[in-house]
Amino acid sequence: MAPEIAAGVAPNTIEVRLAKGILALNRFLMMLQNKRMPVAEVKVDGDAGGTRITVGLDCPEETARRYATLLESLEDVEEVRFSEAAQAGRHNASIDYDGRRFTSIENSATGEVGPETVFTYHQDGDVVWATYEGGAVRFGTLIATADEEGRLDARYGHVNESGELMTGECRSTPEVLPDGRIRLHEEWRWTSGDLSSGKSIVEEIGE
């Protein structure tokens, strides 16, 4: 039995390569149905090398990636990847953070990042990450996702000068300065220590 087809346009397309044989194809299609995936379209193409299936999912990208991880775990599945169009869609943030360096110009009292702390950012599509160190921070890392406006939803962790491992979460809103540099207005919250929250501003370091 074919999987139930959801109404609507599939914003996320996953390409799957299956092992040879009709049994592998049947098991795959049954799994789509049993897991009630929001399938908008399915295309099947086969040759001597095996079976290739294109699955269009009518759901947000984050949900589609969870489904892709599930598909990868199946015995008959040899490869799972997002289509080139879907990959291109990951690179649509309005601000490119890659290679930019920032330092703090303002922070709440319970924050540990200061003017001596330098962040070095990198970006691949909607995934943004950074390392930071200096001042009260011996070394830290940050991982975030960027939306189409360049806003960041981040998680961070660092070891401070007292040797404590500190963790937290932060949401940053970018401001483009007249000279093209980026200023990030941040709202953060510790998930360790006193669990306090605060606001900070970091600004890109010029040439």
- CATH number, residue 105: 2.40.128.30
Model pLDDT, residue 36? 80
What end-to-end distance do the CA atoms of the chain give, in Å? 62
Please list the alpha-helical segments (H only) found in 78-158.
84-89
The ranges of the chain with pLDDT < 50 are 1-9, 85-91
- Which CATH number do you get for residue 29? 3.30.70.260
Model pLDDT, residue 2? 42
Sign of CA dihedral 75, 57, 123, 127: negative
Q: Which of 36, 64, 89 is the last residue of a domain?
A: 89
Is 95 within the bounds of a domain? no
User: pLDDT for 73-92, tens place per residue?
Assistant: 888 888 888 765 444 444 45
Is 1 within the bounds of a domain? no
State whether 114 and 195 are in the same domain. Answer: yes
Q: Residue 26 is part of which domain span?
A: 12-89
Residue type, 98: D
Q: Which of 89, 114, 135 is the last residue of a domain?
A: 89
Is 190 within the bounds of a domain? yes
How far is residue 10 from each of residues 43, 46, 69, 101, measured CA to CA in Å?
13, 22, 18, 37
- Kindly state the tokens that stand for 190: 């510790």
Model pLDDT, residue 114? 96
Model pLDDT, residue 54? 86
